[in-house]
Structure 1
Amino acid sequence: MEKSGRKEFVITTNDRHYLPFHNPQQRTWDGPFYFIQAADTQLGFQERCVEGRKDPGWTKEVEWTRQMVKDINKIKPRPKFLVICGDLLDAYPETLATTRLLQEEDLKKELLSLEIPLVCVCGNHDVGDIPTPSTVASYRASFGDDFFSFWCGGVFFLVVNSQYYQDSTKVEILAAEQEAWLEHQLEQVVHQKPKHCVVFQHIPYFISSPEEDDEYFNLPKQLRDNLLSRLYKAGVRYIFCGHYHRNAGGQYLDMEEVVTSAVGAQLGPDTNGFRIVKVLHDKVEHTYYALGNAPTHIDLTQGTENN
């Protein structure tokens, strides 16, 4: 949108729908396509947490986000969309609201250059580790719905707010709304049988194994088992997450969970980057690329990339 000659960030969700693909034609499989998955742009995390600075800035994350957008804009044919799986910003909404507004302004400024649709996923830093109705409302006002679904090229995508699973003590009504919504969405998956069904969320169900113990970077096992079972039985076979700031993932039966490292600060040996995800007739393939090293051409017929 243009306002006074200046391009503005536009919220693209409404009533649990993603507007860029909100038309019946998207329900039909039209051949292979691909999208970009990223996570944790998290402006401010590098200097605050990794470097331990007392007055942290976020110029590094701005540069990394800018490079991501440049890389994506060069790829041909165009990806269908970019999804950022949570922790868009670092500053918590209730305790660092002023800092968060500055981070938000800088992030949106970089994302305005993106030439494909953007899907935003809610992370713990976006609503707080213990979300409240106020922090959720703030996120929605800035980035749109925190849970929603959409069809794209015959594939059904579910965007979930994983923080409701981590701690819903102050948002029980909102968590119940997501639960009722999710149940309805999974019923649609069963009855409409999309080519694939893919879930996007911030916190992984597990880092490497569904049987692993609870820790900061996964969801509580008490909830994990039930949720994974429900998703699997409905027909979900791919889950894409962030949060870990490292690449990881594993299998629940033949359902794959992919944990993608950060565009922003790293907490392990990986390099800042994003994932190219190919949606093929019988499977979904994905490869992680460091910033500045992504291919500029995607061949969906041969499954190869060319620089």
Structure 2
Amino acid sequence: MVCQFPEAAAVTNSYKLSGFRQHRFILLQLWQSEVSSMPWRKEQTADLQRVLRDVDSEIPLVLVSGNHDVGNVPTPETVAEFQQTWGDDYFSFWVGGVLFLVLNSQFLYNCSGCPALKQAQDAWLDQQLRLAEQHRCRHAVVFQHIPLFLQSIDEDDNYFNLTRAIRRELADKFARAGVKAVFSGHYHRNAGGTYQNLEMVVSSAIGCQLGEDPHGLRVVVVTAEKIIHRYYGIDELSEKGIGDDLMDLMKKK
């Protein structure tokens, strides 16, 4: 996912994410071998880190943990491994009056192996949402690996969404705090829906596809008034580039 902020002004980053050239960043939801496959995992990690070194150093990378990073049932050990390799598993940052919250959604899926870590994230999230509500930020946006829901807040529980009770509680919290959108992956297909004024955006993968979507990425443009996003297949992006309408928005000052 590539995010762009054409009308952003001052930048204040909770975790010192510096170098927001033209206020853009790349969001990566990692997908490696399962945490138990240590030999392959080490090779994959080294390979990915090598590739990421070729990304323009002035464009920050924002990494979101998922089930292939900390496990379907995370433990203090798997979370610590992620933190040592990639950094914090949940955090917030500001870009031009927009508050971004990055969550470890594996805690929300199954925290039986690390209840204290989930409690810590819950307390932190409540504090961040109070901040968003009090500061009346331009927008508040959440990034998490597992979607709240795929199409509807009332859909049945399955492997690719959060349980009804948890998703409803979170969605209500987000809506009260003024969160405009939640961006997720995990489903390996494009999906999404709305709940009150909250948009749930589920993006397919640049790698393994489980549906009929092309390998690709989502481009997100944030203006003072709205959040616009579009999924592009890699071939389409290579042949035609980003649409003129999005490019025009990116060029605005």
Q: What's the TM-score bracket when you normalise by the shorter of the two chains? A: 0.7 to 0.9
Across the two proteins, how many residue pairs are aligned to each other? 234
Matched ranges for 1:252-291 at <5 A: 252-291=195-234
Counterpart in the other structure of 1:250: 193
Q: SS state of the match for residue 101, structure 1?
A: helix
CA distance in 2, matches of 1:100, 1:264: 16
Q: Deviations over 1:97-140 (max 9, x none)?
A: 12101111111111111111100000011001111100000000
Q: SS state of the match for residue 224, structure 1?
A: helix
Q: Name the amino acid aligned to 1:91.
A: S
Counterpart in the other structure of 1:83: 27
Shift of 1:237: 1.1
Q: SS state of the match for residue 100, structure 2?
A: strand
CA distance in 2, matches of 1:300, 1:152: 19
Counterpart in the other structure of 2:9: none
CA distance in 2, matches of 1:80, 1:102: 29
Contact 2:18 2:60 survives alignment (8 Å): no
CA distance in 1, matches of 2:141, 2:74: 25
Contact 1:207 1:250 survives alignment (8 Å): yes
Q: Which ranges in structure 1 are unaligned for 5 or more consecutive residues?
A: 1-15, 27-76
Contact 1:121 1:160 survives alignment (8 Å): yes
Counterpart in the other structure of 1:195: 138
Question: TM-score of the superposition, structure 2-length normalised?
Answer: 0.87
Q: Which moves more between the two structures, 215-224 or 296-305? A: 296-305
CA distance in 2, matches of 1:233, 1:297: 33
Shift of 1:300: 5.9
Between the two structures, name the one with larger relative contact order (CA 8 Å, sep ≥ 6): 1
The reply to whether residue 174 of structure 1 matches residue 117 of structure 2 is yes
Q: SS state of the match for residue 176, structure 1?
A: helix
Counterpart in the other structure of 2:5: none
Matched ranges for 1:16-55 at <5 A: 17-21=14-18
Distance 1:185-1:209 versus aligned 2 partners, 3 A rule: same
Q: Percent identity?
A: 43
Counterpart in the other structure of 1:108: 49
Q: CA RMSD in A?
A: 2.2
Q: Deviations over 1:266-304 (max 9, x none)?
A: 000001111110101211000111114322686668449
Q: SS state of the match for residue 237, structure 1?
A: strand
Q: In structure 2, which of residues 87, 92, 116 is the aligned counterpart of residue 149 of structure 1? A: 92
CA distance in 2, matches of 1:282, 1:110: 35
Q: SS state of the match for residue 149, structure 1?
A: strand
Counterpart in the other structure of 1:99: 40
Counterpart in the other structure of 2:72: 129
Distance 1:182-1:298 versus aligned 2 partners, 3 A rule: farther
Q: Which ranges in structure 2 are unaligned for 5 or more consecutive residues?
A: 1-12
Question: TM-score of the superposition, structure 1-length normalised?
Answer: 0.72
